[in-house]
A and B are shown apart, each in its own frame.
Chain A
């Protein structure tokens, strides 16, 4: 018990990262809001919260794949906007939805090639990609509008076997990510690559026979595809295409991953931590809205939280 408490307080002793701290944070926020406001635990607010948290959870889980190998993906926000713009182009859903994932995979693949093959720093590569995708999105849809296929709208509202659709999305996302990370060779390799990068031995994973480049590229593909899924969810919610809907998701996703205890230098992190981290962020913004905090201050506070969370994570490397 004492050792467990020590682990929680001092930092990552295992590959799981600091996930108990954000869980305590979430509980503290819920408790605080339940006392301070009277509609925190009302069903409509809880559904609101879940709907707010959903796209962030999906994006953050994708982002974690990239963070685990010591990278960052700043293009996820633009992929979300791009996805809603594509879905609002009009056309049958059985073409649009595969097309969205194909395009996202292509974007992720380009990011991955730039990072893993061409030796570009992940931040520069994905930021440039963000510019390009946002430009293309603005060409496709200069202002919000259009309509998305019926099936997309139905997939986020209503219930499936009595379970609200939002819950289904969470479960499916987590199952896919869990399978990839913990029940496949690919996930094991991701942790191995990241562990090497974080401890300053970039060659370690390659020396034991892991195909580093291929796995890193696949991590970027995964990140983009999860972002596309979040885009589909959001398109169903707003029932149209919007070139600005994904703005800020990249930073929120990184913050969520960092809060969830995943080390930004790679190798250490957990799926449940990331989900909790995204939930904490959604709770914070939900709570601040309930308490009538200005949205601008909310932005500043989220920046502050990001700063605080990374400042308590020690790492060896200095610089980028």
Chain B
């Protein structure tokens, strides 16, 4: 169990979720939410696994995924910041539209196979650590630097603390929210690539519950590991505890409904802890 190789494999399972969390924490820091990740993952998976682009190179798919994610994120951000539509409704509706479109094109059945090089890259290791895990921590490090060192990071914190005060202090609130959503979309595109590589087949159901798990992991991370609303590492520990939970449930052979109940209870408990804490702070 505590073998590095085994642990690496288990952690590797949650890498798509872990990457998605990095975007989720950014939008949640500006008091918004992004539930459109499921739709982005499905769309990218469809483009890679169907024969829409026959024989395309890896770099083409990477660019495609990033462009799709960024455009979706930009749209979300524009709707939330400019039109002031509820972020939940916008991102949920975008997700529904993307899912509906993909299922229509796929005719409801899995589209096909993913090019072999995705699986090959996914299965490589750096030393004894799987490459996806290294990749994940690399992006997390970048995100941490971005939030703690760049001016944009300050803007994000300011908007999250008090949007009105930030506005009167000269922080471009709308632009910050739009940019946060755009980056979250871009990260969702990257998560979609990793998720597709991890399952190595086309699917019309993949990754649909990842966004809400990302929300839960972010909340969980904000509570348990005292970085408050600021950290990148708290949510990452949240994801790792989900990985542990999945391992434990698999080891004890808990069936699917049990897993669902456990997930719901954990999300609720995390949210209650968070809610009680923020209520005291005010």
Residues of chain B at the chain A interface (Cβ within 8 Å): 30-33, 79-81, 83-90, 92-97, 99-101, 103-104, 108, 163, 173-174, 177, 212, 215-216, 219, 256-265, 267-268, 271-272, 274-276, 278-279
Contacts and interface: CB of A to CB of B under 8 A. Distances in A.
Contacts, number: 158
Given A114-B272, A310-B89, 14 more contacts: A72-B88, A118-B279, A120-B271, A124-B271, A125-B268, A136-B257, A137-B257, A300-B104, A306-B93, A306-B96, A307-B97, A311-B79, A311-B83, A320-B87
Interface residues of A, number: 50
Contacts of B100: 296-301, 303
20 contacts: A114-B271, A114-B272, A114-B275, A118-B279, A119-B276, A120-B268, A123-B88, A128-B265, A132-B265, A135-B259, A135-B264, A297-B100, A300-B97, A307-B97, A310-B90, A315-B84, A318-B31, A318-B32, A318-B177, A320-B31
Given A124-B215, A128-B268, A139-B257, A318 B104 contact: no
Contacts of B264: 128-133, 135
A2 interface: no
Contacts of A318: 31-32, 80-81, 84, 163, 173-174, 177
B257 A300 contact: no
B271 A125 contact: yes
A248 to B, nearest CB: 9
A320 B80 CA distance: 8
Contacts of A135: 257-262, 264
A49 B267 CA distance: 38
A265 interface: yes
Interface of A: 72, 114, 118-121, 123-125, 127-139, 142, 251, 254, 258, 264-265, 294, 296-304, 306-307, 310-311, 313-320
Contacts of A121: 271, 275
A230 B215 CA distance: 30
Nearest to B81: A318
The B contact surface, by secondary structure, is helix
B192 to A, nearest CB: 19
A264 B94 contact: no
A303 B88 contact: no
B221 to A, nearest CB: 14
The majority secondary structure among interface residues of chain A is helix
Contact of A131 (B31, B81, B84, B263): B263
B37 to A, nearest CB: 14
Nearest to A254: B89
Contacts of B274: 120
Contact of A299 (B85, B86, B96): B96
Contacts of B81: 318
Contacts of B276: 118-119
Given A136-B257, A307-B94, A319-B32, A120 B89 contact: no
A6 B272 CA distance: 44
B268 A114 contact: yes
Given A132-B264, A304-B97, A310 B257 contact: no
B94 A118 contact: no
